[in-house]
Amino acid sequence: MTTSRWNDEKLDRLADLVSGIATDVQGLTQKLEETTKIANGNARAIQAIADAMAEAAEERRAAAEERRKAADIINSNARVIQAIADAMAEAAEERRAAAEERRAAAEERRAAAEERQEILGIIMQQQSEIHGMQTENQRTWEMLRDRRNKEDNPNT
């Protein structure tokens, strides 16, 4: 192997080369620091986005829970409304049946009143006939009594 001697020129070139490398390393170090700052900024931004996403997910979960509760209330209200509607329909049917019963009772009362009127008419007719018969009986009685009196007292 050959040994070469370091002269000033080689040493200057080496120093220039080392100086260039140091400058490059310094530039790279600066770029690395800038990249690190950007990466740290990106990490903070990513964390903020992740936090916001977690918060949004929690809000969506809470909203879904509220919607479920609202749906439960709506369903409960629907059952109550249906029960009220059923009760109202039943009450309407009961009122209709009661009205029908009242109408039938009124018809029965009207028929009974007509029957009473007919009976009263028959009674009045029979009373009139009885009165006529009493009058006729009274005349017949008087005639028979007068005849008997004449037979008993021919002079009168």
Average pLDDT by consecutive 10-residue portion of the chain (156 residues)?
Answer: 73 90 93 95 97 97 97 97 98 97 96 96 95 94 88 74
- Distances in whole angstroms, Cα of residue 30 to Cα of each of 23, 53, 107: 10, 34, 112
Residues in the chain: 156
Looking at residue 3, its amino acid is: T
Q: How many CA atoms lie within 13 A of 119 on its CB side?
A: 6
> Which residue from 152, 11, 83, 48 is spatially nearest to 144, judged by alpha carbons?
152
pTM, to two decimals: 0.46
- What is the distance between the terminal CA atoms of the chain, rounded to a whole angstrom? 210
What pLDDT shows up at residue 156? Answer: 59
What pLDDT shows up at residue 7? Answer: 84
What pLDDT shows up at residue 88? Answer: 98
Residue 18 CA, distance from chain mean position: 87
Place of tokens 């080496």: 14
**Please, where are the H alpha helices in the chain?**
8-152
Instruction: Please say whether the beta carbons of 156 and 149 come within 8 A.
Output: yes
What would the two tokens of residue 15 be?
């120093």
What pLDDT shows up at residue 123? Answer: 95
What pLDDT shows up at residue 106? Answer: 96
